[in-house]
Structure 1
C-alpha cells in the first residue's frame, strides 16, 4: 500500500529546537489528515494536528507539557530527533497515536491501550453518559443499586468509567479476547475499581441465569467489504473488534435477540453503532418487543447510540 509522501520529508527536515520540531510535526500530520481520521468507523474528525504533534513529541522525549512553556528553545540531540522522526513516520502512516504512547484518555481517565484493543473514541462517551443517566433514574425509583453488563469490553474503558463514576454499582464486563482482557485487567487495577467483575467469554456466555438492569455494548459494526476498513486509518486496530463480517448488523441482531433473557423488567439495552445504522436498529428493537426505543446524536450530530427498554 502506498503511504503518504509526507513521511520521508518529515524525517529529513526536522529542525533542532523543541518548538520548531513540534511545528514541523504538526505540518506533517496536517498533510496526512485524510489518512489519520477514522472515517470508516464513522467518527467525527476530532483531529487537532498541533495537539497531536505536542503529545507525540513530548511523549517520545519523556517531557512534561510544561516544557512547552519553560524551555521551548531546548535543542534536541540527534538521537532525540531520530526517536521523534520514527514516531512521526509511523503516525503519518496511520498508526494510532494511542498505540505509540501506550495510553488514551477516555471519560477523563487514562487507559492503557495496545494493538490488542480498539482505541477508545470520544463518541463512545455518549454510551457512558446514557448508562449513567438511566442507572441514576433506576436508583431513584428502586431500592437496589443498578447491575450493569458491558459486552465486548476491550480495554475496559466503558465498564471502568461506569464503575469509577458509581462505586456502588455492580458492573460486569465480558471480553472474548484473552489479550484484550489482560489490558482490561491492568486498567481496572490502575483505576482501583473493586466493583468491577471481568470475565472471559463470548457475549452473554459467562453470565447464564444472571440478570441486569443495564446492558451496554459497542460491538463490531463495520462491514467487511467497507473499502476504508483496510486503509491506514483502521488497519492497525484489531480486525475482529471492527467488523463482524459481511453483515455489519450481525452482532446487533444477536444482542437484541438475546438481551431480554438477561434484562430485568424495565431494564435497558444501549448500543453504540455506525452513523447510518440507527433506523435499522430501532426497527429491530421494536420488532423484538422493546419499548421506549430512541437514538441519540453523537459529537458529529449523527445517530450513534440507540437504546430500548424491556417491558
Structure 2
C-alpha cells in the first residue's frame, strides 16, 4: 500500500473528531464568508465553465462560501498557482496533479496540494480531418500537430503519448505546436496542422461544432495506455469514445485521465466540506454536458492516487457516507 493510500485510510478511519466538528459547524458560521480563489482554465474552455458553474452553485447555497474563478492556462499553471499561494483551489488532470504532489517534471519540487474529489474522467481525443492521409498515431511522423496550450495538462499528455509512439525526438518527431482548443480547431480547419490533441469530457461542445462543419476521424490511442501506466503510474486507463459522439459510427478506444478538484493544505476544513456539499448536491447540473466519464460518487471521488485527501474532504466523506 502506498503512503498516500495509507494516509487516506487513516484520515477516513480515525482521528477526525476535530475536523468533523469544524465541518459540522460550517452551517452555523457567524464570521466572514470564506472566499476561495479557484484556478480553472482559459475563458471559453470547459474548466473555466465548470468553475463558473461551481461558483454560481456555491452562491446559491445560502452565502456560506464564495468562490472566485480565475482564468488560467489550465492544469500545470493551476498547480503552480496553488504552490505559490495565488490560488486556493484548482482543477487539474490527475497526471499533472500527481506530478506536482511527487515533485516530478514539469515541477521541480513537491507542491502543498491535497485533493477534494476526483470529479470525472477526461477522454483523450486525437482528431484529424477524415479526408486527410493520417489514419494512425504513427502517421504523424514529421507532421504538424496541435498539442495543447502551454501550461495545460493536454500539453503534458500529448507529449507523453507522442513519446510512447517514438514521435517526440529524432527525424520522426511530430511538430508539436502549443495551441489551445479554439486555436487547434481553427488550425485543423485551415490545414495548418494535420492533427489535434484534446483531453476533456464527452462530448466537448467545441469539437461537436467542429465535427458539424469538418468531417473528422478520431484515432485510436488505447494501445498506448499500458506504456503510459508503466512509466507514469495508474492515472492512465483505457476508455472508449462512444458511438454517436461527434457523429462516430463505432466506438474508438483511447486514454482516460481523471480530473481532480484540488486545494492548498491550508484551506479551512469547514470550507472544504461546504464546497464538497455544494459539489455533490449540484453534481447533475454541474456535469450535465458530460455524457461519458461521469462517475461522481464517493468511492470514485476519493480515488486520488498519490495526491492525499484534504482533511476537510476526508471529514466530509466520513460524516456523510460513514
* Fold-level similarity (TM above 0.5): no
| Higher RCO by CA contacts (8 Å cutoff, separation 6 or greater) | 2
| Structure index of larger Rg | 1
